[in-house]
Structure 1
Amino acid sequence: MRFSVVIPVYNSHHSIEEVVLRIIKTLESLDQTFEIILVDDLSKDNSLEKLKELNERDSRVHVIALQENHGQQGAIKIGMGASKGSFIITMDDDLEHQPEDLPLLISEINKGYDVVYGIPENKKYPFYRKLGSKLVDVFFTVGLNKPRNIKIGSYRMINRKTVDRILSDHTPFVYLTAITLKFTKNIGNVSVQHVERKYGKSNYNFVKLAKLFMKLFFYYRIAGKSKGLSSELT
């Protein structure tokens, strides 16, 4: 298996079929073996039924139905645990990430990177979300030694070795980029398209972004430092 595409799904019955069909068309055009792992994060609409339909139509589409909500990051990590590909791709379920840009990520990771992030051009996000993303970027740069010239996002490709290391991490609060930075700084960027979602709206707001930042600081800075000090003492 060459590629595993992992998509966390939450209330996206309007968009997920188009996402999957466009991924299939793109990867088939590259003549690559692949699987698509759809992780339903306890959707409240009929997303799960739609996922099951896609699985019945194409055996390369696998469905994981979570019995409790794990959040986007936790759902992706669970999907990674079920993946078999040499490279794992993560992308959103809302059509903001364009499947047709997958060849750009593939070309970049073939240069020898462990991880490649697809960075959208001209992101049309609200001010508070841009500010939150900026603060998170500063935290990763200053607190976790992310290379300053590297940007991060949820559209990414990771090699198998790095994914296995991510899966070995048991930090209670899952944030994949924070975990990734523990194991590698060999990271690349490539510019991709950004298209506003056709359906629904983002679940993020200022309060959620503030909570995210505080959790990142506690689990990956304070608790991480304490764990390192404890290890040194023992």
Structure 2
Amino acid sequence: MKPVFSIIAPVFNECETLPELVRRVGAVMDGLGEPWELLLVDDGSSDGSTEKIRELAAQDERIRPVIFARNFGHQIAVTAGLDYSRGDAVVIIDSDLQDPPEVIADLVAKWREGYEVVYAIRAEREGESWFKLFTASLFYRLIARITDVKIPLDTGDFRLMDRRVVNVLNTMRERDRFLRGMSAWVGFRQIGVPYKRAPRFAGSTKYPFRKMLKLALNAITGFSYFPLQVATFVGFIAAGLSILMIPVVIIMRAITSTQFLGQASTLVAVLFLGGVQLICLGILGEYIGRIYDEVKGRPLYIVREAPQDRE
């Protein structure tokens, strides 16, 4: 029977959490009274999660494993789940149980009202450091200011999307993905549902600062030209200051001011302009590197094993 709901949970070294995730998702979805499936996308786990996924799938045919050949990253794992999902509505949820499965019922209720994207808003966040809370808040507000796409504040990937939205997303195959931005970009009727984010059920975070920074760069470069515009502004400012300093230097030299004797002032100016140029080259390099990745045309992921049937 074709499922009405597909739940996608990317998995990376979450062996301890998986049985509880399956139990809680099953309890919620059975309560909705419609056919469902749970896609567990193993993103190159090394802690026994792969074997645990196979074991759980053998116990319940509604659990569909998608096993990667290696680690490709969280956003790519979610993309694979979207590719293999078959439901009329698709829910993305983290496998660490920080996103409570019980909230899915609230998302479904809004979908049944006619909304096509229902995103979960993190009204409260337990078990997270002040640094994580501060940087997350700063990122959401920064991305809201510099992009033309209205990305909801304080939201992650936890959301429900109608099949029409998923079909559009499945045509967007860029490599450096920021799915919460992509789902906002496609439009359709959207609404948020607040919820209280829980601490991890077990284990440690799989999203350290390095991965958070990479995701932020993908969001900024994928939805904004602002860094390139900043480089242009800085260049004009540096050039303007240089032009203004030319008559000042000439006058000071003419009156033999000791402030401009020697090479110190020249060295400072050269180092400043050199730093500006290197920063601008770095910004250009970020965009060019992403173009380079796109033109190679490699697949987004490689699957070791997966269900034969897909949407």
Tell me, yes or no, whether TM beats 0.5: yes
SS across alignment from 2:174: coil
More displaced stretch, 74-83 vs 181-190: 181-190
Counterpart Cα distance in 2 of 1:144 and 1:134: 19
More displaced stretch, 181-190 vs 206-215: 206-215
1:147 Cα deviation after fit: 6.0
* CA-to-aligned-CA distance 1:23-49 (integer Å, 9 cap, x gap): 112111221110110000000110011
Provide runs of 4+ in structure 1 moved above 4 Å: none
> Do the aligned residues in 1 keep the contact of 2:9 with 2:39 (CA within 8 Å)?
yes
Map of 1:72 onto structure 2: 74
Map of 2:219 onto structure 1: 216
SS across alignment from 2:224: helix
More displaced stretch, 37-46 vs 189-198: 189-198
1:121 Cα deviation after fit: 3.5
* CA-to-aligned-CA distance 1:107-151 (integer Å, 9 cap, x gap): 122222221112234203222322332233224423033166x54
Counterpart Cα distance in 2 of 1:37 and 1:205: 24
Larger radius of gyration: 2
1:84 Cα deviation after fit: 0.4
> Do the aligned residues in 1 keep the contact of 2:122 with 2:154 (CA within 8 Å)?
no
Q: Within 5 A, what are the aligned runs for 1:1-234? A: 1-124=3-126, 125-142=128-145, 143-146=147-150, 151-184=154-187, 186-222=189-225
Give the TM-score taking structure 1 as reference length: 0.88
Map of 1:231 onto structure 2: none
Map of 1:229 onto structure 2: none
Give the TM-score taking structure 2 as reference length: 0.67
* CA-to-aligned-CA distance 1:46-104 (integer Å, 9 cap, x gap): 00111001110010100000012121111001111000000000101112122222211
SS across alignment from 2:191: strand
Counterpart Cα distance in 2 of 1:133 and 1:144: 20
- Structure 2: where are the runs of 5+ without partners? 229-286, 288-311
Q: Tell me the matched-pair count.
A: 224
- Structure 1: where are the runs of 5+ without partners? 227-234
* CA-to-aligned-CA distance 1:140-165 (integer Å, 9 cap, x gap): 423033166x5421211000011111
